[in-house]
């Protein structure tokens, strides 16, 4: 089976949406700018943003109506950083153990 048989334009668009939202955490992005960035119509943009919000990946700024990343991707990034720190510490411990002179 070819790779194309597994491609889903809707899923690919949602993943690209995270990249569009990233970097706009303070001022957010308007639904219109979101739609333009992903080259979709306003209805599709509304549906995307709703689904991203339901999953915790986007949130709407109440004061402005603009959108930004929600807590979920930040939580994932922080969990990764924590696990990376633990792995680095473990590697240092192993390195120290094996580099001691007898």
Q: In Å, what is the CA distance from 95 to each residue of 35, 43, 84, 86, 102?
A: 50, 55, 16, 14, 14
Residue 42 predicted with pLDDT over 90? yes
Question: What's the pLDDT tens digit per position in 11-26?
Answer: 999 999 999 999 998 9
CB atoms within 10 A of CB 2: 6
Q: What is the pLDDT of residue 100?
A: 79
Domain 3-99 has CATH 3.40.50.11610: no
CB atoms within 10 A of CB 54: 10
Residue 72 predicted with pLDDT over 70? yes
- The structure's pTM equals 0.78
């Amino acid at each position: 089976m070819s790779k194309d048989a597994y491609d889903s334009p809707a899923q690919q668009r949602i993943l690209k949406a995270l990249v569009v939202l990233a970097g706009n955490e303070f001022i957010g992005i308007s639904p219109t700018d979101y739609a333009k960035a992903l080259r979709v119509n306003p209805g599709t943009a509304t549906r995307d943003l709703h689904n991203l919000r339901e999953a915790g990946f986007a949130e709407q700024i109440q004061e402005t109506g603009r959108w930004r990343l929600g807590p979920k991707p930040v939580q994932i990034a922080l969990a990764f950083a924590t696990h990376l720190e633990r792995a680095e510490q473990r590697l240092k411990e192993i390195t120290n153990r094996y580099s001691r002179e007898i």
